Amino acid sequence: MSGNPDINIDANLNLTGLDLPRYIAIEGPIGVGKTTLAKHLANSLDYELLLENAQDNPFLDRFYEDPVSAALPTQLHFLFQRAKQIQALRQTDMFQPVRVADFLIDKDPLFASVTLDDDELRLYQQVYSQLTIDAPTPDLVIYLQAPSDKLQQRIASRGIASEQRINPEYLQRLNDAYMNFFHYYDKAPLLIVNAAELDLAHNPEHYAQLVEYMLRIKSGRHYYNPTPTL
């Protein structure tokens, strides 16, 4: 799912009279569409966009090629990158009061638990505990979920060479870890979205229905199953 600048994704979007959340965090496994949604929301709401920028991790290609040997440096790079982004976010709170992000720092240990062996995980946990990550709490967290076979199809269709080496078993374990994490998540209002049949990149009606639903959420846990459209 990649964005298309020729598609007017905001065509049917009505934000009149809505009290908008000031900080939205979007999460979900690779291929589910979180970055696409974050970009569209930033454009629709005129919000600052905070992206995970996985392509900046020099170890990621090696991880997809050889997960066992490259897992620890890959995970630590992501941890330091996210901590730096959160620190910068805190420092600019006075000047950038509204934003949307395609990651939630709280989930970082989730990846570590999936990719690292026991010794590496203990080292990671020691490093994590020493970092001062005073992350602001989002006003709304959106968790996009889809079956692993659907994620695999989307990864294949977007054609990023390094991602084609992602092991289906790893993807399933990651998907399961996400579901477990958000089953217990209660730090912020949460919207769990069935994204299996959503085309947030190209279908304005899909996007409009989701946004109009999510922007009315003020507290608690909510589930969104899209209404079928042509």
Q: Tokens 């240990």 appear where?
A: 109
Catalytic residue among 19, 102, 118, 149: 102
d(CA 16, CA 157): 36
d(CA 72, CA 70): 6
* E strand residue ranges, the chain: 23-27, 48-50, 99-101, 140-145, 190-194, 221-224
Alpha-carbon Rg for the chain in angstroms: 17
106 is catalytic: no
Show contacts of 64-73: CB within 8 Å, 24+ apart: 64/162, 64/163, 64/165, 64/166, 65/162, 65/165, 67/115, 67/167, 67/170, 68/117, 71/115, 71/116, 71/117, 71/120, 72/116, 72/120, 72/123, 72/124
The catalytic site residues sit at 102
